[in-house]
């Protein structure tokens, strides 16, 4: 008894480090609150100097009506006097240029060659009508627009029909340049009817589509 009373007390027993029970993990909610938020992703404005602006949507159904209005203006002028067809073409040339430009942009993904031809016609038709000789300018413009309609027509029977229209326009142009002025009305009639049919064939499959134009805005503007 004296030996046990005078002996120094032993320290409390503890398990070895390898056998210690791991501390319980904190709850998921607390861990989510404790973890810092990820840094925001870098914006693409540094790599793209222009931001995304408005998107303008244009229906393509009025293209056929625009071409018919141009043909109607030339037809009325040629009926009034065969030598007045140039005045009618000059009056309708802005509408023709706008229609050809929109038509060319709409064909860019599927018919790039026809789209380039349409843009060339849209840019050169007003200048061709004003600067070329009065007897040559309208017919050269008719031949160029007819070639665009033939190139943009769908494949199959419609393309054959549009190609026949191109042949008719070419024949009317040659006949008008070589025949006397008395046959100008007949030549204009053949050419305008062929161009109207070609425009209807070329724009028929686009009536249900829309042209989307994305306008980009520069940063800081």
Residue whose entry in the numeric block shows the structure tokens 């989307």 = 212
CA gyration radius for the chain?
A: 38
Give residue-wise pLDDT tens across range 5-15: 555 666 666 65
pTM assigned to the model: 0.70
What's the chain's length in residues?
221
Residue 170 has a pLDDT of: 94
Residue 190 has a pLDDT of: 92
- The whole-angstrom separation of Cα 183 and Cα 49 is 59
Query: Residue 216 phi/psi, 5° resolution?
Result: -90, 145
In angstroms, the Cα distances linking 136 to 57, 83, 133 are 37, 12, 5
Give residue-wise pLDDT tens across range 33-67: 544 545 555 444 444 445 556 777 878 888 989 99
Residue 166 has a pLDDT of: 95
Query: Residue 138 phi/psi, 5° resolution?
Result: -60, -35
Q: Which residues pair with 170 in a beta bridge?
A: none
Q: Is 200 helix (H, G, I), strand (E, B) or coil?
A: helix
Low-confidence residues of the chain, pLDDT below 50? 30, 32, 34-35, 37, 42-49, 220-221
Residue 217 has a pLDDT of: 64
- The whole-angstrom separation of Cα 73 and Cα 138 is 13
Residue 220 has a pLDDT of: 47
CB 107 within 8 A of CB 114: yes
């Amino acid at each position: 008894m004296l030996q046990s009373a005078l002996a120094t007390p032993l320290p409390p027993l503890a398990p070895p480090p390898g056998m210690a029970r791991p501390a319980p993990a904190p709850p998921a909610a607390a861990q989510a609150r404790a973890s810092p938020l990820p840094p925001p992703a870098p914006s693409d404005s540094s790599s793209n100097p222009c931001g995304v602006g408005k998107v303008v949507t244009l229906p393509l159904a009025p293209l056929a009506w625009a071409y018919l209005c141009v043909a109607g203006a030339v037809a009325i002028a040629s009926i009034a006097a065969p030598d007045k067809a140039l005045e009618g073409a000059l009056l309708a040339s802005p509408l023709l240029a706008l229609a050809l430009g929109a038509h060319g942009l709409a064909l860019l993904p599927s018919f790039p060659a026809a789209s380039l031809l349409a843009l060339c016609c849209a840019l050169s038709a007003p200048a061709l009508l004003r600067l070329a000789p009065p007897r040559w300018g309208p017919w050269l413009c008719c031949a160029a627009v007819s070639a665009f309609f033939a190139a943009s027509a769908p494949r199959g029977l419609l393309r054959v029909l549009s190609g026949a229209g191109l042949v008719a326009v070419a024949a009317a142009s040659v006949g008008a340049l070589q025949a006397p002025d008395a046959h100008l009305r007949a030549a204009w009639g053949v050419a305008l009817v062929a161009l109207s049919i070609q425009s209807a064939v070329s724009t028929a499959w686009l009536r249900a589509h829309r042209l989307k134009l994305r306008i980009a805005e520069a940063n800081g503007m």
